[in-house]
Amino acid sequence: MEQEVINTMMPRIGDIAPDFKAVTTKGPIQFSNFAKDKWVVMFSHPADFTPVCTTEMSGFAERKSEFDALNAELLGLSIDSIHSHLAWVNNVKEKTGVYFDFPIIADIDMKVSKLYGMLQPNESETAAVRAVFFIDPSKKIRLIMYYPLNVGRNMNEILRVLEALQVADKYKVALPLNWVKGDKVIVPPPKTLDEMNARIADNSLEKVDFYLAKKSL
């Protein structure tokens, strides 16, 4: 079957997040000036007034205080008008009491979706996929998730990786499989024979071998 190939470069981990201007439910933004000195969790959803998206957006709203605690701003996006966004936010508030108290980009011209590889035409030509970009305070993209239209994301995982990125930066460590806050962390493996011998002699670490050693923070 013929597949549509798009000729745009998708942002990658380590890239500086492409700058853009956008209209949001909290007013216009220039991304390079948005959330100065904070992390940004920027996420797209396929469409307003759809069921999976409503559960996901409600999940972001209900756990916003945990993003605040991690110095992270939320920034939603879909290829819908600002009027649709406002009506949806109001509808969900009226029906469930959950208020989407973070900016949602009205990307009706698809500019931002295309810039961030959120429009994946073999999944949908008109709706953004479920993307999540984790962007650090220097505006570098640190982690990217893409989910299809029919599978909702996992809020525990979104918060877990945000915290993992911050812990990795702060303590210069790496995080093992299924790491959650409080678990031991991986100390960087030695790079020289001297470091290797020091690691072998170090009894303060939980070691499988010199290259796989963990410690508590």
User: Catalytic residue positions?
Assistant: 53
Nearer to ligand BEZ, 51 or 182 (CB): 51
| Binder among 25, 50, 81, 166 for ligand BEZ (CB under 6 A) | 50
Amino acid at 109: D
Could you tell me which stretch among 46-54, 104-112, 136-144, 162-170 binds ligand BEZ (CB under 6 A)? 46-54
Strand order in the sheet with 130-135: 27-30, 21-24, 104-106, 72-78, 39-44, 130-135, 141-147
Shortest separation between residue 189's beta carbon and ligand BEZ, angstroms? 43
CA 150 to chain centre: 18
Describe the chain by its helix, strand, coil percentages, rounded to 5.
30, 25, 45
Q: Which is nearer to ligand BEZ, 47 or 174 (CB)?
A: 47
User: Does 149 help bind ligand BEZ (rule: CB under 6 A)?
Assistant: yes
CB atoms within 10 A of CB 173: 19
Q: Which of 14, 27, 28, 51 binds ligand BEZ (CB under 6 A)?
A: 51
Could you say whether residue 84 binds ligand BEZ (CB under 6 A)? Answer: no
- Residue 213 pairs with which residues in a beta bridge? 207
Amino acid type, 180:
V
Q: What is the DSSP letter of 19?
A: P
- Tell me 49's DSSP state: T
The minimum distance between CB 150 and ligand BEZ, in angstroms, equals 5
Short-list 161, 135, 151, 168, CA closest to 36: 135
Q: Is 47 in the site for ligand BEZ (CB under 6 A)?
A: yes
What is the pattern of x (binds ligand BEZ, CB under 6 A) and - over residues 97-136?
------------------------------x---------
Give the CA distances from residue 130 to residues 44, 57, 140, in Å, rounded to whole numbers and listed in that order: 5, 11, 20
Residue 150 contacts ligand BEZ per CB under 6 A? yes
The correct pick among 17, 53, 129, 135 for binding ligand BEZ (CB under 6 A) is 53
Nearer CB in complex with ligand BEZ: 129/187: 129
Question: Could you tell me the smallest distance in angstroms from the CB atom of residue 149 to ligand BEZ?
Answer: 4
Exposed / middle / buried, residue 113 (Cβ in 10 Å: 0-12, 13-18, 19+): buried
Binding site for ligand BEZ (CB under 6 A): 46-47, 50-53, 127, 149-150
